[in-house]
Amino acid sequence: RKEVEQDPGPFNVPEGATVAFNCTYSNSASQSFFWYRQDCRKEPKLLMSVYSSGNEDGRFTAQLNRASQYISLLIRDSKLSDSATYLCVVGLGNYQLIWGAGTKLIIKP
């Protein structure tokens, strides 16, 4: 079983729709949680950190459920520019990050 699991997709979604991804992690000692965005053949970029109380950044909302060990990302009013691969990342301490393989999102006009 992978330490961080994501549905690889692709998720094909019409522009303007709401889409949600989940990610599950296996290590209950995980301390920090992130969503990164990666465009095709480019470097990952931090989208947002995920806090226990949930957090929102514009059209993006992240939630953490420690009891069930999953993280979610909700994108509202999706734009064509949201097309990318979304990477779920879990931190086990200051120096160790475990990366999911990513969920591919395609927004269609």
Partner 1 sequence: EAQVTQNPRYLITVTGKKLTVTCSQNMNHEYMSWYRQDPGLGLRQIYYSMNVEVTDKGDVPEGYKVSRKEKRNFPLILESPSPNQTSLYFCASSPQGAVGYTFGSGTRLTVV
Residues that bind partner 1 (CB under 8 A): 2, 4, 8, 32, 41-46, 87, 91, 94-102
User: How near is the Cβ of 77 to partner 1 at its closest, in Å?
Assistant: 28
How far apart are alpha carbons 2 and 86 in whole angstroms? 17
User: How near is the Cβ of 16 to partner 1 at its closest, in Å?
Assistant: 30
Closest to partner 1 by CB, 3 vs 76, is 3
Closest to partner 1 by CB, 62 vs 102, is 102
Q: Which tokens hold the place of 8?
A: 């690889």
Distant-in-sequence, close-in-space partners of 12: CB < 8 Å, separation ≥ 6: 106, 108
User: How near is the Cβ of 46 to partner 1 at its closest, in Å?
Assistant: 7
Q: Which tokens hold the place of 59?
A: 């059209």
Closest to partner 1 by CB, 78 vs 88, is 88
Closest to partner 1 by CB, 32 vs 72, is 32
Label the pairing between strands 4-6 and 97-99.
unpaired
User: How near is the Cβ of 101 to partner 1 at its closest, in Å?
Assistant: 5
How far apart are alpha carbons 91 and 4 in whole angstroms? 11
Are 73 and 20 spatial neighbours (Cβ–Cβ below 8 Å)? yes
